Amino acid sequence: DFYSSSKTTPIPSKLKLRVTQACTEFCAVDGRAFDVITDDGFQNLAKVLFDAGRSLYKSSIEIKELLPHSTTVRKKH
């Protein structure tokens, strides 16, 4: 990004709780270690998805349309 603000916004407790619940569900449903949410790769994915949502803030998007198919990821990397 050309310009990136170093200011951070306080996170509302209700939002933090929703994210915590979603991370817990992700780990439990997909059989992942809870430590995965502290990994660089997961945090980068979360940031990219957050930034994508922020850039489309006036639109509702279908997350399945945003995420690539597993074969696409496999072919690219």
Residue 26 lies in a domain: yes
> Could you tell me the CATH number of the domain that includes residue 70?
1.10.10
The answer to whether the CB of 27 falls within 8 A of the CB of 37 is yes
Residue 2 lies in a domain: no
pLDDT band at 75 (very low <50, low <70, confident <90, very high): confident
Mean pLDDT of the chain: 89
- Residue 72 CB coordination number (10 Å): 10
Range of the domain at 24: 13-76
| CA gap 34, 60 in Å, rounded | 29
Q: Which of 2-11, 12-21, 46-55 has the highest mean pLDDT?
A: 12-21
Tell me, yes or no, if the pTM score tops 0.85. Answer: no
Residue 53 lies in a domain: yes
Residue 58 per-residue DSSP state: T
Residue 8 lies in a domain: no
Residue 31 lies in a domain: yes
The first and second tokens of residue 33, run together, are 């270690």
